[in-house]
Structure 1
């Protein structure tokens, strides 16, 4: 069962920072989950929210700010907003990277970066999985590069996710763990999808989810899995 670090190791270090990703690697994760947006100057940056307000010293929408402006804000004083390329250089194929497409117009820019790492730096398509709640973005991924694995995120409906996963040739479904039952897991299994539920933190919840024999667990505390 894969141990998947949520936004790095969010339970230990500020989320989606290089230090958080390094902590996840130090904990021996099999996969790291992170979130991306496209900023005003075109770069793909790693941040969960559409705005800076919750997690940084700054404010405003990511899409209105250039990379140089984003680099001027801090996260818990000591960290910066990283670019996707900075994160991939840090991870350096030590684990699989689950990139969640959060903002608009992130699919092509992300795929362009992955193409460079695959073509020039020895990475493989299976070193990545692109996931999103924005299923149109996942459809775009499939159309632009069907070799990159896709994971369908859902917080509400397993059956709809299965239907779209079939359509988009996804390899996995990433459900909110409260949707998991013996029956819903069986449905996903019948359709040969891997199952990566999120975000499972409490020991009793981890024990329950593990009992369903999912393929991996996304957690702020991946060492608990």
Structure 2
């Protein structure tokens, strides 16, 4: 069973998601501004989405850098691995820190923080969130079950979601649900290509909300609304919010 969430913005959107499908901006709003930049997160705040998602890696100084890849090559003009660059070097390349992002989003929108790698990253993320007083305004994501479990051990009040690769069905889905309970995950995430009616139904029976990534506007949004997915994660938050609002009621 999912844990009892602390009150606050996160608790509100989780509760609301059982009655209607809600929208999370992916990497800010990656279709509208460069991904994981402050401009993208500003767009997400204005889009009508209930939350915005970012990715974090540890840099050479052990600080949390907001970037998806483990190198800067694809999304900046620089070259090299994130963990080998200083915070100043990353800043010069336009890579924000998690501190920059929490300052921007505090009291404005729920922030989803996906922990990509770094054994010490769960502790760093949880401590930063606690220091900002944002435990009730954040959600932690990870594909790594051990990071979800570590997050819940560090702070049982911190909402943490386990992202699941592939298309689990049958016995594999049963194994996923058992592991989710073991690591105390508060919900599950699936790709839109991998999520099924069976998976959503099984998660909901365990009272686990379902987060689906990275969904384009159009037919997939309608399918996921019909299947009662709790959250759609999308590069196009404004468009998906508008699409869902037109079909409401």
Q: TM-score, normalised by structure 1?
A: 0.91
- RMSD across aligned positions (CA): 1.2
Does 2:48 align with 1:28?
yes
Aligned residue for 2:57? Answer: 37
User: Does structure 2 conserve the Cα–Cα contact (< 8 Å) formed by 1:101 and 1:137?
Assistant: yes
| Aligned counterpart in structure 2 of residue 145 of structure 1, from 155, 162, 172 | 155
User: Does structure 1 conserve the Cα–Cα contact (< 8 Å) formed by 2:146 and 2:183?
Assistant: no
Aligned residue for 1:7? Answer: 27
Aligned residue for 2:164? Answer: 154
Unaligned runs of 5+ in 2: 1-20, 241-249
CA distance in structure 1 between the aligned counterparts of 2:40 and 2:89, rounded to whole angstroms: 22
Displacement over 3 Å in runs of 4+? none
Which range is displaced more, 90-99 or 12-21? 90-99
| Aligned counterpart in structure 2 of residue 188 of structure 1, from 203, 221, 225 | 203
User: Does structure 1 conserve the Cα–Cα contact (< 8 Å) formed by 2:65 and 2:96?
Assistant: yes
Aligned residue for 2:115? Answer: 101
**What does the per-residue CA deviation read over 1:14-64, in whole Å, with 9 as the maximum and x for residues that have no partner?**
000000000011112101111001101121110000000111100111111
| Aligned counterpart in structure 2 of residue 211 of structure 1, from 209, 217, 226 | 226
CA distance in structure 1 between the aligned counterparts of 2:58 and 2:37, rounded to whole angstroms: 16
CA distance in structure 2 between the aligned counterparts of 1:161 and 1:100, rounded to whole angstroms: 19
CA distance in structure 2 between the aligned counterparts of 1:134 and 1:157, rounded to whole angstroms: 17
CA distance in structure 1 between the aligned counterparts of 2:162 and 2:228, rounded to whole angstroms: 19
Post-superposition offset of 1:163: 2.1
CA distance in structure 1 between the aligned counterparts of 2:26 and 2:230, rounded to whole angstroms: 15
Q: TM-score, normalised by structure 2?
A: 0.83
Post-superposition offset of 1:149: 0.7
Post-superposition offset of 1:108: 0.8
CA distance in structure 2 between the aligned counterparts of 1:129 and 1:164, rounded to whole angstroms: 19
- The structure, 1 or 2, with the larger RCO (C-alpha pairs under 8 Å, 6+ apart) is 2
| Aligned counterpart in structure 2 of residue 136 of structure 1, from 146, 153, 164 | 146
Post-superposition offset of 1:157: 4.8
CA distance in structure 2 between the aligned counterparts of 1:8 and 1:169, rounded to whole angstroms: 27
User: Does structure 2 conserve the Cα–Cα contact (< 8 Å) formed by 1:161 and 1:173?
Assistant: no
Count of residue pairs the alignment pairs up: 214
